[in-house]
């Protein structure tokens, strides 16, 4: 009995501490986005970030001054969806293609907080490594203009179907055709 009570107390204390930690992370100021350099390495593929064209992503963790880099926006979003992802993520930024003049190499300063962006999914635009991309825009009108000419659907970060991000490009074709968008609400064009 005493061991059970002690176990419950320890579990409760641990839950309170973990809840406090996540609240602390949410209240931390977001560092500004950084620009990739020749030394920047993509998290998933461990390749040089600048070896791949197209929009990129970066994530900052509490207590770290350098971001973790992603070779594509789809990779950055996938990182945020994975079970067991780090709980100390302070900010995720993605290239803002509404500001980018060079889509292969977006200019310095062309960043938007990932949760604030509008995304074109299911278009004919492919990421730097050839897979389908979730193309981010800070401006809804720019996202809609893009999908009018390149196809796809405009959604917010929390509306991006996990299947579009986490499954193979063959499976993504189903999502692109709108067959799997029923699991999350898509913003209509």
Q: What is the CATH number of the domain that holds 81?
A: 3.30.70.2060
pLDDT at 46 > cutoff 70 = yes
Considering the domain boundaries, does residue 122 fall inside one? yes
Cβ(144)–Cβ(154) below 8 Å = yes
The predicted-structure confidence for 62-89, as pLDDT tens digits, reads as follows 999 999 999 999 999 999 999 888 889 9
Considering the domain boundaries, does residue 142 fall inside one? yes
Domain range for 33 is 29-183
Among candidate residues 131, 132, 136, the one with its CA nearest the CA of residue 111: 136
94: number of CA atoms within 13 Å, CB side? 28
Task: Count CB neighbours of 76 within 10 A.
Answer: 27
Q: Rounded to an integer, what distance in angstroms lies between the CA atom of residue 111 and that of residue 100?
A: 9
Considering the domain boundaries, does residue 145 fall inside one? yes
pLDDT band with cut points at 50, 70 and 90 for residue 24: confident
What percent of the chain is modeled with pLDDT above 90? 65
Among candidate residues 127, 146, 122, 30, the one with its CA nearest the CA of residue 76: 127
What average pLDDT does this structure show over 34-49?
95
pLDDT band with cut points at 50, 70 and 90 for residue 23: low
Name the pTM for this structure. Answer: 0.78
User: What is residue 170's predicted lDDT score, i.e. its pLDDT?
Assistant: 60
What percent of the chain is modeled with pLDDT above 70? 77
What average pLDDT does this structure show over 33-42?
97
Considering the domain boundaries, does residue 21 fall inside one? no
Q: Rounded to an integer, what distance in angstroms lies between the CA atom of residue 81 and that of residue 76?
A: 9
Considering the domain boundaries, does residue 13 fall inside one? no
Helix spans in the chain (H): 2-27, 73-81, 140-150, 162-166, 169-176
Cβ(134)–Cβ(165) below 8 Å = yes
User: What is residue 179's predicted lDDT score, i.e. its pLDDT?
Assistant: 39
What average pLDDT does this structure show over 57-61?
97
Number of domains in the chain: 1
26 vs 67 pLDDT, higher one: 67
Considering the domain boundaries, does residue 78 fall inside one? yes
Considering the domain boundaries, does residue 160 fall inside one? yes
Cβ(43)–Cβ(69) below 8 Å = yes
Considering the domain boundaries, does residue 19 fall inside one? no
């Amino acid at each position: 009995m005493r061991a059970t009570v002690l176990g419950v107390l320890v579990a409760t204390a641990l839950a309170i501490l973990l809840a406090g930690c996540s609240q602390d992370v949410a209240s931390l100021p977001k560092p500004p986005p950084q620009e990739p350099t020749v030394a920047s390495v993509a998290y998933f593929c461990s390749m040089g970030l600048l070896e791949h064209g197209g929009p990129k992503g970066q994530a900052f963790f509490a207590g770290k001054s350098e971001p973790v880099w992603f070779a594509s926006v789809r990779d950055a979003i996938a990182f945020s969806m994975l079970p067991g992802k780090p709980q100390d993520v302070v900010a995720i930024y993605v290239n803002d293609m509404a500001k980018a003049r060079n889509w292969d190499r977006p200019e310095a300063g062309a960043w938007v907080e990932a949760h604030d962006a509008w995304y074109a999914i299911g278009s004919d635009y492919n990421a730097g490594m050839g897979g389908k991309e979730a193309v981010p825009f800070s401006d809804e009108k720019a996202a809609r203009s893009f999908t009018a000419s390149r196809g796809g659907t405009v959604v917010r970060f929390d509306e991006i179907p996990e299947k579009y991000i986490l499954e193979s490009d063959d499976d993504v074709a189903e999502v692109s055709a709108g067959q799997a968008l029923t699991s999350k609400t898509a913003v209509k064009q």
